[in-house]
Amino acid sequence: MSLSALPLSFRFAGRELRSGVAGFRIFLACLALGVAAIAAAGSTAEAFRQGLASQGREILGGDLRVSVEDRRFTPVEREAFRRLGPATFSAAQSAMAEAASGERRLVELRGVSSGYPLVGKVVLTGAASLDAAFVVRDGIAGAAVEQPLMERLGLKLGDRFLIGETPFIARAVLVSEPDRLGRGFALAGRVLTSLEALEAGGFLAEGLPDRGETARIALPVSANVDTASKALRKALPGQGLEIRTRNEAANGVKRLIDQLEYFLGFIGLASLVAGGLGVAGAVGAYLESRKPSIATLKALGAEGVLIRNTYLIQIALLALLGVAIGLAVGACAPLILGELARDRLPIPALFAVYPMPLLKAAAFGLLAAAAFSLVPLARARSTPPSALFRRDLSGQVGLGLETVVTALAGLGLAALAVITAPTPVAAAVMIIGVAVAFGLLALLGRGAAGLAGRLRRLTHGALRIGLANLSGPRSAARTASPAIGLGVALLSAVVLIQSSLLSQVSQVAPRTAPSMVFLDVPGDRAPQFDAALARAFGQALTAETYLRFPFVSGRISRIKGEPVDLKAIKDGERWAYDNDLQMSVFDGEPANAGVQEGRWWPAGYSGPPLVAMEIDAAKGGGLKVGDDITLSILGREIDARIAVLRKVEWGGFSPAFTVILNPGALEGAGLRYIAIAKASEDQEKAATRALGQDFAEVNIISVREGLTQAVEMFDRLSLAVRGAAAVAALAGLLVLAGAIAAGARARAREAATLKVLGGSRSQILTAYAVEYGAVGLIAGVFGVALGYAAAWPVVVLVFEAKWSVDWGGVVALVGAAAGLAALGGLLAAAQALSRRPAPVLRTE
């Protein structure tokens, strides 16, 4: 097909594009950056999802996983499992491990039956197989122990150690289990042994807490997992079985991946929005440079539609190029990540090029290009032909096709972001927040420009020139400031949230939270336990440093007489109704009870059972003071009335129980105790060793160690999260570069004029440094203020943590924004000063 057969607008567009895309570098960079971020986030998340899906069997440990709580499987159940296919059984118990040196640590002791694992491999060092690791010699069973636990207990291969009162030999180091991811997060170090050894050690005796069992079943290849799952439920109804298929192997991890993808994708979207000003600026500058041509074409008889189509084709082609570059980078980045981090990823991943995330990123990119390009196009289309005679004339933006499509594209962008988010409501709130922040920053930028105009009268010399430029119609305060500000706002929100949470974990929690938690203190020897602890601490126990509460596990089975309907309960509060809860009994109102509604029963109360319930959990289930609930505790159903709703200080030094009953409600029940203590590191070590003598059955959780691990994990994540947020700030800097480039000719003319008038190089450099430094300062200060406003509610209201500001980080952000912008201005000045005045002034 010859070129002359193409519509006229295509021919004109092709001719106009002969000048190349040099003027569109910023346009392409801004678009590509945002698209690449969204594409990379989506592709990485998809890689993890595919990895999880492909290894669903390994993660679950089979095709079906069946669990029961507080009991072993019956022979009928075991037979039903075996009829489906090969099956393995496992059980786990928390207990204290003690080395010969006296070092003690809480461990999760897991026993597995022969045939484990059904799918995948257990990786050991020191033993050739699980059978070799578990072999019983001289009546002592072997076990595989995790390396960090070996180090904490000071064990070597072949060493003997106790768990409770049962001896084991560390015959292997447990490197990995195929189903670890599917079993969730563990507070304690892991020890793996045979199920027989677990039973022989009495860890699954009747009456012990958490004596549940899990079966893993491998189905024939042709079997349908959902059909098998349904058949099993039908064959064993009402037995309290929790059945999961390989397709649900790691639902928690999947949700985490969704949230991570959304967070990273949101940053990409914020980059597109911030970069949108760069897109608009580049298109505006290009079309401004084409004004004489547009006016000429109109003088030659061209109508507005031809003008619009000619330049729309160019913009569309360049947008496609920018999106394509972004997609290429976004698709390749995860592949490179996969190669570099292959063996260090905590979650299985299948890195490849996935079309759906790329399509989504392309849609975002094209909508953003439309939203930010069409208004300058509308202005260009309405350029009057009289602009040939009056150069200051420009087109006007009125209600037309371009503005309508711009509005639709903006709405489309927001809608796409909301419908692709895992939590659409939260996404809508975030998008409205970004839009409001952007609008506010634009207004503040204009306000600052206006203020600069007023202030310049009070100054002179280079400062005056800088302020005059800042207040001018093409000031970067109106264009680059909002974009940089948005990036700074996002980055500062991330920094402020992280610093508050890190401070909460590393400084506040160690002061307010207990440093040790003692589980399963025997009720009949509680006073002796208190005395042993006081001896180990070397000081008397006080209410400020030691609390002991009766403790029992139970579950809410009915609300107001009806069985619990999980679907009717808010997602965030379902934990209180589909899990066992820690419950306690108190006679009168304890200190720090946190009563919000109702009245505590008096000491010695002996009436019908009453409950003090955690207020958020109660309201999640639609409960208020005076309502009835039924609790399943130790095989009994107890009907109780809610007397109190209380605010629990989770992580504080107070009775942190979701449900507290009056003592009469559990009369005759053999309660255990849980105790919490504040202690120094030395006291902690002394107590852990000393209690091993007479209270080996008491499990000790070191909160200090847990917090230290949390801080380490936080630190590792923080760099990655800040790096991701910095992408948005980078978009802002690209916009600044675009603003500098757009004003290059005007700056060169200005510099030439100033030189002619006797201005020195240092004066001109100072003027530009003032102008652009102020742009960065405006963006930095307002951006941080917005970031502060966004971070505070997240820290205080969502995480309920103490607000703490990393002032160093904040000052660094503002300084970086101002410094980088000033540097940009100096580079612009240097470029303008490099040209001789005469040729510049001669050129129109």
Partner 1 sequence: MFDADAAPSPLVLTGVTLTLPSAAGPVEILKGVDLTVAAGERVAVVGPSGSGKSSLIAVAAGLEQPTGGVVKLFGQDMGKLSEDGRAKLRRGHVSLVFQSFHLLPNMTAEENVATPLEIAGRKGATALARRWLDRVGLSSRLTHYPHQLSGGEQQRVALARALAIEPKLLFADEPTGNLDGINAATVADMMFDLVAQTGAAMVLVTHDPALAARADRTVTMGDGRMVETAA
Tokens of 776: 């960065």
Q: Of 305 and 426, which CB lies nearer to partner 1 in the complex structure?
A: 305
Q: How far is 732 from 34, CA to CA, in rounded Å?
A: 11
Q: How far is 469 from 465, CA to CA, in rounded Å?
A: 6
Of residues 207 through 236, those in contact with partner 1 by CB under 8 A are: none
Q: Of 392 and 544, which CB lies nearer to partner 1 in the complex structure?
A: 392
Q: Are 268 and 37 in contact (CB under 8 A)?
A: yes
Q: Of 245 and 382, which CB lies nearer to partner 1 in the complex structure?
A: 382
Q: Of 128 and 300, which CB lies nearer to partner 1 in the complex structure?
A: 300
Taking CB under 8 A as the binding criterion, the range among 379-387, 458-466, 472-480, 483-491 that sits at the site for partner 1 is 379-387
Q: Of 209 and 304, which CB lies nearer to partner 1 in the complex structure?
A: 304
Cβ neighbors of 286 (< 8 A, separation 6 or more) are: 23, 24
Cβ neighbors of 443 (< 8 A, separation 6 or more) are: none
Q: Are 531 and 688 in contact (CB under 8 A)?
A: no
What angle (nearest 5°) sits at the alpha carbon of residue 146, between those of residues 140 and 147? 115
Q: Contacts for 79-82 with beta carbons within 8 Å, 24 or more apart?
A: 80/232, 80/235, 80/236, 81/215, 81/217, 81/232
- Preceding amide of 117 cis, omega within 30: yes
Nearest by Cα to 809 from 509, 488, 510: 488
16 near partner 1, judged by CB under 8 A: yes
C-alpha to C-alpha distances, 569 to 559, 574, 611, 620, 756, nearest whole angstrom: 11, 6, 20, 6, 76
Least distance in angstroms from the C-beta of 282 to partner 1: 18
Q: Of 234 and 390, which CB lies nearer to partner 1 in the complex structure?
A: 390
Least distance in angstroms from the C-beta of 299 to partner 1: 6
Taking CB under 8 A as the binding criterion, the range among 145-153, 208-216, 383-391, 805-813 that sits at the site for partner 1 is 383-391
Least distance in angstroms from the C-beta of 22 to partner 1: 13
Q: How far is 768 from 774, CA to CA, in rounded Å?
A: 10
Write the DSSP assignment of 793-836 as a string of letters: HIIIIIS-------HHHHHHHHHHHHHHHHHHHHHHHHHHHTS-
Task: State the binding string over 817-836 for partner 1 (x if CB under 8 A, else -).
Answer: --------------------
Q: Of 227 and 386, which CB lies nearer to partner 1 in the complex structure?
A: 386
Least distance in angstroms from the C-beta of 17 to partner 1: 8
2 near partner 1, judged by CB under 8 A: no
468 near partner 1, judged by CB under 8 A: no
Relative to beta strand 636-646, strand 189-194 is unpaired
Relative to beta strand 659-661, strand 87-99 is unpaired
Least distance in angstroms from the C-beta of 7 to partner 1: 11
Taking CB under 8 A as the binding criterion, the range among 279-287, 302-310, 493-501, 784-792 that sits at the site for partner 1 is 302-310
Least distance in angstroms from the C-beta of 842 to partner 1: 14
389 near partner 1, judged by CB under 8 A: yes
7 near partner 1, judged by CB under 8 A: no
Q: How far is 7 from 1, CA to CA, in rounded Å?
A: 12
386 near partner 1, judged by CB under 8 A: yes
Q: Of 241 and 468, which CB lies nearer to partner 1 in the complex structure?
A: 468
Least distance in angstroms from the C-beta of 469 to partner 1: 19
388 near partner 1, judged by CB under 8 A: yes
Least distance in angstroms from the C-beta of 298 to partner 1: 6
The only residue of 306, 324, 534, 711 in contact with partner 1, by rule CB under 8 A: 306
Least distance in angstroms from the C-beta of 404 to partner 1: 19
Least distance in angstroms from the C-beta of 844 to partner 1: 9
Q: Are 250 and 258 in contact (CB under 8 A)?
A: no
304 near partner 1, judged by CB under 8 A: yes
299 near partner 1, judged by CB under 8 A: yes
Q: How far is 743 from 824, CA to CA, in rounded Å?
A: 12
Q: How far is 564 from 632, CA to CA, in rounded Å?
A: 12
Taking CB under 8 A as the binding criterion, the range among 173-181, 217-225, 245-253, 294-302 that sits at the site for partner 1 is 294-302
The only residue of 50, 239, 259, 293 in contact with partner 1, by rule CB under 8 A: 293
DSSP state of 505: I
The only residue of 298, 646, 704, 747 in contact with partner 1, by rule CB under 8 A: 298
Taking CB under 8 A as the binding criterion, the range among 299-307, 349-357, 410-418, 739-747 that sits at the site for partner 1 is 299-307
The only residue of 197, 264, 302, 434 in contact with partner 1, by rule CB under 8 A: 302
Taking CB under 8 A as the binding criterion, the range among 300-308, 458-466, 628-636, 645-653 that sits at the site for partner 1 is 300-308
Q: Of 18 and 511, which CB lies nearer to partner 1 in the complex structure?
A: 18
In the three-class reduction of DSSP (H, G, I as helix; E, B as strand; rest coil), residue 621 is classed as: coil
Least distance in angstroms from the C-beta of 289 to partner 1: 10
DSSP state of 392: T
Helices (H), 605-702: 615-620, 681-694
Taking CB under 8 A as the binding criterion, the range among 32-40, 219-227, 387-395, 743-751 that sits at the site for partner 1 is 387-395
Q: Of 126 and 304, which CB lies nearer to partner 1 in the complex structure?
A: 304
The only residue of 296, 506, 582, 831 in contact with partner 1, by rule CB under 8 A: 296
301 near partner 1, judged by CB under 8 A: yes
129 near partner 1, judged by CB under 8 A: no
Least distance in angstroms from the C-beta of 475 to partner 1: 19
Q: Are 263 and 8 in contact (CB under 8 A)?
A: no
Cβ neighbors of 700 (< 8 A, separation 6 or more) are: 96, 104, 106, 516, 517, 518, 519, 687, 688, 691
Q: Of 13 and 370, which CB lies nearer to partner 1 in the complex structure?
A: 13
Nearest by Cα to 394 from 410, 379, 413: 379
The only residue of 167, 385, 590, 652 in contact with partner 1, by rule CB under 8 A: 385
843 near partner 1, judged by CB under 8 A: no
Least distance in angstroms from the C-beta of 285 to partner 1: 16
Least distance in angstroms from the C-beta of 12 to partner 1: 8
How many residues bind partner 1 (CB under 8 A)? The answer is 28
Write the DSSP assignment of 67-126 as a string of letters: EESSSPPPHHHHHHHHHHS-EEEEEEEEEEEEETTS-EEEEEEEEE-TT--SSS--EEES
Please give the single-letter amino acid code of residue 97.
Answer: A
Q: Are 804 and 500 in contact (CB under 8 A)?
A: yes
Least distance in angstroms from the C-beta of 270 to partner 1: 36
Task: State the binding string over 19-58 for partner 1 (x if CB under 8 A, else -).
Answer: x---------------------------------------
Number of neighbours of residue 713 by Cβ within 10 angstroms: 11
292 near partner 1, judged by CB under 8 A: yes
DSSP state of 589: P
Q: Of 299 and 744, which CB lies nearer to partner 1 in the complex structure?
A: 299
DSSP state of 181: G
The only residue of 1, 22, 221, 300 in contact with partner 1, by rule CB under 8 A: 300
Nearest by Cα to 412 from 357, 370, 452: 370
**Burial class of residue 614 in the structure, from the number of CB atoms within 10 Å of its CB (0-12 exposed, 13-18 middle, 19+ buried):** buried
Taking CB under 8 A as the binding criterion, the range among 297-305, 355-363, 670-678, 759-767 that sits at the site for partner 1 is 297-305
Tokens of 467: 């302020």
Q: What is the contact surface with partner 1 in residues (CB under 8 A)?
A: 4, 8, 11, 15-19, 292-293, 295-306, 384-386, 388-390
